[in-house]
A and B are shown apart, each in its own frame.
Chain A
Amino acid sequence: MATNTGEVMLEMRNITKRFPGVLANDSVNFDVRAGEVHTLLGENGAGKSTLMKVLFGLYQPEEGEILLNGTPTKITSPTHAINQRIGMIHQHFMLVPTLTVAENVALGLKSGRRPLTDLKAVARGIADISDEYGLAVDPNVDIWRLSVGERQRVEIIKALYRKAELLVLDEPTAVLTPQEVDELFAILRDMRNSGKGLVFISHKLHEVMALSDRITVLRNGKVTGATTPAESDRSKLASMMVGREVKLAPDKPLVEIGKPRLTISNLSVDGDRGAVAVDGVDLEIRAGEILGIAGVSGNGQRELAEAIAGLRSVKSGSTISIDGKDVAGMDTRDRRNAGLSYVPEERMRDGAIGDFTVAENLILVDHGSDEFSARGMFKFAEIETHCSQLVSDYAVKTPSLETPTSSLSGGNIQKIILARELANEPSVMIASQPTRGVDIGAAEYIHSRLVDARDRGMATMVISEDLDEVLGLADRIAVLCDGKVMDIVPVEGATKEQLGLLMAGVKS
């Protein structure tokens, strides 16, 4: 940990930002010194991004002031923030995929050869930055050809090229492999040691513990605590975030493993661009078992889930069977009747319809069944009883059953999907990224419901890029790399390092 922190670069004093009906930031104080990593920790909606948008000139606060190197400054726009040497690495990369690295860096800057671009000069500047911080990247390559880790380096280079001294990193590790996270952290420590001030926004507690010099916790728009990694630990941080005791990993009672419920053999699936995405995968999940699928995003997880769910056609020779019944040729309806349920990765695209009400989404699968309709007409009384029960069983926070689903938080939408998918006591569940972008509190709840269903004999596949989640939930872990199963290991004794190597395609 760096202790030689320098001058206060940024001071945000009593920042208050209101939106209609919401107090997003309530007299928040936050400061950053040169040469430190100051972490901003909090749940979704705690006010982290509002605070950073205020800093970046995207919002004007109702009250409070911002001091840059001691001088009160009103930041009016992102351009103004950049000119004040503030850089922001957005969670969703702000890159133009069809432009080259150099073009992305040059965007918005005055060219020395106006009206022409001066990409050679930009490429030289990039090379200097690459050398200084070990950020290797070819300036002449189109962004779409780069890996996620490389794209992130381009984002950092973009900020450094604009001479940023204060760098805000909004959940920068969300899409990286454990090894890439290590590389990123090494780069960030270098930058810190060279005197830059870093704001790290994250909800991954072990990363926060590993990287931070100081930690400020936000909850419901207020600062609820300030601490350092030395004075804290993961569960303390979690309870500061949520405001109560939190179990980071669900209690998993020992249950008897039953007969195989989902059997996949020689499964091969094409990806969107025609190349093989899933390559001869064999998996078996038994009753009462959770199989975790670990892997770097884009190594066949999505295609695997979609093939099992019936959303993507499989190549000949592939078999998928549920409780001994071959379902590979069935449509989605028949697969569901055979006992399959599916929590998709893109919850707003594949899992729920945003404009539909909570009740409509809760019966989306069974709306045509005799339970909810008769002669083509809905039975509203039955639907309401059923949905009220689910909403209270799953602690969905919604104003009413008639509320449009898209107005709820990610965690509540995911609870609705899970409630619907578990309602019919399925024999097999495919859960893709079940808690991505979901609050710790809601994630804890979702995990406990998945474990309950497992205890009742459901065979579950949990696909996740979050290794903590996989390690906490799964009984066995299969690692996918390049569409192939690298290995399947029992969770007891599995380590992140071992899984990380497998994820990178290295077989021990």
Chain B
Amino acid sequence: MLEYLEAIFSVAVLASGIRLATPYLLAGLGETVGQRSGVLNLGVDGVMQLSAFFAYWTVLVHENLWLGIGVSVLVGLVMGIIYAIVTVFFEAQQGISGIGIFLFGLGFSDLMFQKNVGTPRFVKSLPDVRIPVLSDLPVLGEALFSHSVVIYGAFLLVPAVAWLLRKTTFGMNVRAVGENPQAADSLGVSAQRTRFIAILIGNVLAGLAGGALVLQLGVFQPNLTQGLGFIAVALVYFGAWRPSGVMVGALLYGLVAASVLQLKALQLIPRSYSDIAAMAPAVLTIAALVILAGRVKAPAALTRPFARH
């Protein structure tokens, strides 16, 4: 028993948990902004797959990591514009439109990969940046302050998104439009424009999440995300539509996943059970969602298209 605990509560697991949590965090933060404006985006996973592939391909060809990150953001932006036009201006049902985006992302990234790359080749991955002084702190320094810039950025986005929602006029408009778009509209706040921008923010962060994921691994394969984007959507509910809550969920998910990986690596889990162990994070999320169900209220206008009458 002790060996299991030692394996789980180690600096290596903490560091890898933070790394694994990052794509969930980025995508979840973006989805938080979108949902607060009343728009559910089930296409997050598809956007991540597309942005992951294009970021990977860019780095494969140009060998420039930052160009790759830039491309992932751009892919998110383009997909965001498409999703926003469909759901905001054509008032399409959000659930099914998002699934359309997901299927497109899944299929198109696979197709592009097969046509242009074929067999997976490794590219360089995002370098760790050791933060002076802090990373030399005993025990936790290594785990917390020796990561890539994207990871630091993701965690800095947590207070930034909270600030955006709480303190800015735009954030107030987002919250108003997500609760009662008619009221916002009656005061001259355009529900359409506010949602459009919120969707773009959400998709840009989903794109970045895909880029971060693939450039941490250094390699792309079809269906790279394996549902990660859907988990990110679930984490928004888990986190009660608050950036800090989403961060807690993402970290929990990352740490459990890292622990399972560690136990597998140390062969503390028999091979035949490893698939079952890999389900642990998902089971945990479902359990948490069931326990939290009904405790907090979703934005009242979530998934309701807005139209003037």
Binding site for B on A (CB under 8 A): 58, 77-79, 82, 88, 90, 93-99, 103-104, 106-109, 111, 114-117, 158
Chain B: CB-nearest residue to A78: B186
Does the CB pair B172–A106 fall under 8 Å? yes
Question: Is B87 part of the binding interface, using a Cβ–Cβ cutoff of 8 Å?
Answer: no
- For window 170-209 of chain B, which residues contact chain A by CB distance below 8 Å? 170, 172-173, 175-176, 179-180, 182-189
Option from A88, A93, A108 in Cβ contact (under 8 Å) with B188: A108
Minimum distance in angstroms from A123 CB to a CB of chain B: 14
A141→B186 CA distance, assembly (Å): 21
Dominant secondary structure of chain B at its interface with chain A: helix
Task: Contact check, A116 vs B167: say whether CB atoms are below 8 A apart.
Answer: yes
B 70-97 to A, binary, CB cutoff 8 A, 1 in contact else 0? 0000000000000000000000000000
A107 touches B187 (CB 8 A): yes
Contact B176 A116 (CB under 8 A): no
Expressed in whole angstroms, the Cα–Cα distance for A158 and B188 within the complex equals 13
Separation in Å of the B186 CB from the closest CB of chain A?
5
> B180 touching A95 by the CB < 8 A rule?
yes
Instruction: Tally B residues with Cβ within 8 Å of A.
Output: 21
Chain B residues engaging chain A, CB cutoff 8 angstroms: 167-170, 172-173, 175-176, 179-180, 182-189, 299-300, 308
Given contacts A95-B180, A96-B180, A107-B176, contact A116 B169 (CB under 8 A): yes
**Can you sample 10 A-B contacts with CB below 8 Å?**
A90-B186, A95-B183, A98-B300, A99-B172, A99-B175, A104-B176, A108-B184, A108-B189, A115-B170, A158-B187
Beyond A107-B173, A116-B167, whether A88 also contacts B186 by CB under 8 A is yes
Complex Cα gap A104–B179 (Å): 12
Are B179 and A115 touching (Cβ within 8 A)?
Answer: no
Complex: A115 Cα to B170 Cα, angstroms: 7
The answer to whether A116 touches B179 (Cβ under 8 A) is no
Q: Are A94 and B188 in contact (CB under 8 A)?
A: no
CB-CB < 8 A to A95: which residues of B?
A: 180, 183
Residues of A within 8 A of B187 (CB): 78-79, 82, 94, 107-109, 158
Contact of A107 among B168, B184, B299 (CB under 8 A): B184
A96 in contact with B183 given A78-B188, A107-B176 (CB within 8 Å): yes
A93–B183 Cα distance when bound, in Å, is 8
Q: Is the Cβ of B168 less than 8 Å from the Cβ of A116? A: yes
**In the complex, which residues of chain B have a beta carbon less than 8 angstroms from the beta carbon of A103?**
172, 176
Best-surrounded residue of B170, B175, B176 (most CB of chain A within 10 A)? B176
A94 near B183 (CB under 8 angstroms)?
yes
B181 and chain A: residue at smallest CB distance? A96
User: Given A111-B169, A117-B169: A99 and B188 within 8 A (CB)?
Assistant: no
CB < 8 Å neighbour of B176 from A58, A90, A93, A99: A99
A224 to B239, CA, bound (A): 58
Contact A78 B176 (CB under 8 A): no
| A78 to B187 CA separation, bound complex (whole angstroms) | 7
Contact of B184 among A93, A96, A109 (CB under 8 A): A96
When distances are taken between beta carbons in the complex, the residues of chain A under 8 Å from B179 are: 96-99
Interface SS of chain A: loop
Rounded to whole Å, the gap between the CB of B187 and the closest CB of chain A is 3
Q: Is the CB of B185 within 8 A of A107?
A: no
CA distance A131 to B248 in the complex (A): 45
Inter-chain CA distance A103–B175, complex, in Å, is: 10
Contact of B180 with A97 in the complex, beta carbons under 8 Å = yes
Q: How far is the CB of B80 from chain A (nearest CB, A)?
A: 20
4 extra interface residue pairs, beta carbon distance < 8 Å, beyond A96-B176, A116-B168:
A78-B185, A78-B187, A106-B172, A107-B172
Distance in angstroms between the alpha carbons of A116 and B164 in the assembled complex: 9
Minimum CB–CB distance from A125 to chain B (whole Å) comes to 15
Are the CB atoms of A114 and B180 closer together than 8 Å?
A: no
Residue of A with least CB distance to B308:
A58
Of A79, A96, A117, which contacts B168 at CB under 8 A?
A117
Q: Which residues of A contact B183 (CB under 8 A)?
A: 93-96, 104, 107
How far does the alpha carbon of A93 sit from the alpha carbon of B300 in the complex, in Å?
15
Complex interface: chain B residues within 8 A of A99 (CB): 172, 175-176, 179
Q: Which residues of chain A are within 8 angstroms of B188 by Cβ–Cβ distance?
A: 77-79, 82, 108
The residues of B that contact A93 with a CB separation of less than 8 Å are: 183
Q: Residues of A contacting B185 with CB < 8 Å?
A: 78
Minimum Cβ distance to chain A for residue B239 (Å): 16
A107 touches B182 (CB 8 A): no
- A106 nearest CB neighbor, chain B only: B172
When chains A and B are docked, how far (Å) is the Cα of A93 from the Cα of B187?
12
Q: A97–B297 Cα gap in the complex (Å)?
A: 12
A158 and B184 CA atoms in complex are apart in Å by 12
CB-CB < 8 A to A106: which residues of B? 169, 172
Q: How far is the CA of A268 from the CA of B170 in the complex (A)?
A: 46
- A108 smallest CB distance to B (angstroms): 3
Given contacts A78-B186, A107-B187, A107-B189, contact A98 B175 (CB under 8 A): yes
Interface contact B184-A117, CB-CB below 8 Å:
no
- Closest partner residue, chain A, to B187 (CB atom): A108
Closest-by-CB residue of A relative to B177 is: A96
Which 10 pairs between the two chains have the least Cβ-Cβ distance? A108-B187, A79-B188, A94-B183, A108-B188, A96-B176, A108-B189, A94-B186, A96-B179, A96-B180, A107-B187
- In angstroms, Cα B299 to Cα A106, docked, is 20
Complex CA distance for A447 and B172, rounded to whole angstroms: 47
| Min CB–CB distance B296 → chain A (angstroms) | 11
What's the least CB distance linking B236 to chain A, in Å?
Answer: 16
- Contacts A96-B179, A96-B183; A117 near B167 (Cβ below 8 A): yes
A294 to B204, CA, bound (A): 55
For residue B241, give the distance in angstroms from its CB to the closest CB of chain A: 10
Asked whether A115 lies within 8 Å of B300 as measured between CB atoms, the reply is: no
Chain B residues contacting A78 (CB-CB under 8 Å) are: 185-188
Residues of chain A within 8 A (CB-CB) of B300 are: 97-98
Query: Which residues of B lie under 8 Å from residue A111 when comparing CB positions?
Result: 169
Q: Which partner residue on chain B sits nearest A105 by CB separation?
A: B187
Contacts of A108 in B (CB 8 A): 184, 187-189
With a cutoff of 8 Å between Cβ atoms, the chain B residues found around residue A82 in the complex are 187-188
Q: Report the nearest A residue to B297, measured CB to CB.
A: A98
B168 to chain A, nearest CB (A): 5
A58 to B180, CA, bound (A): 18
**For the complex, what is the distance from the CA of A28 to the CA of B176, rounded to whole Å?**
36
Residue contact B180 to A115, C-beta cutoff 8 Å: no
* Residue of chain B at shortest CB distance from A111: B169
